[in-house]
Amino acid sequence: MLLTDIAVEHTRVSKKDGVRQTYLLHPFTDTQRDSLGKFEIVRDVREPGGKEVKRSTFVSFAQLAELYAKGVLDEFGFGVRMCPGQGQYPAANPVKKILPTSIRPGSAFDLAVQGVDVAKPANRELRTALLRTNVKL
**Alpha carbon 13 to its chain's center:** 22
2 belongs to a structural domain: no
Evaluate whether residue 116 is within a structural domain: yes
The residue range of the domain holding 100 is: 8-131
Higher pLDDT: 87 or 76? It is 76
Is 136 contained in some domain? no
26 within domain boundaries:
yes
pLDDT digits (tens, 9 = 90+) for 30-48: 888 888 999 999 999 988 8
Task: Quote the pTM value.
Answer: 0.90
Residue 3 lies in a domain: no
CA nearest neighbour of 130 among 90, 81, 73: 73
Q: Tens of pLDDT along 90-134?
A: 888 999 999 999 999 999 999 999 999 999 999 999 999 999 998
% of the chain at pLDDT higher than 70? 100
Using only C-alpha atoms, what is the Rg of the chain?
Answer: 16
pLDDT of residue 89: 86
Short-list 12, 118, 129, CA closest to 65: 118
Domain tally for the chain?
1
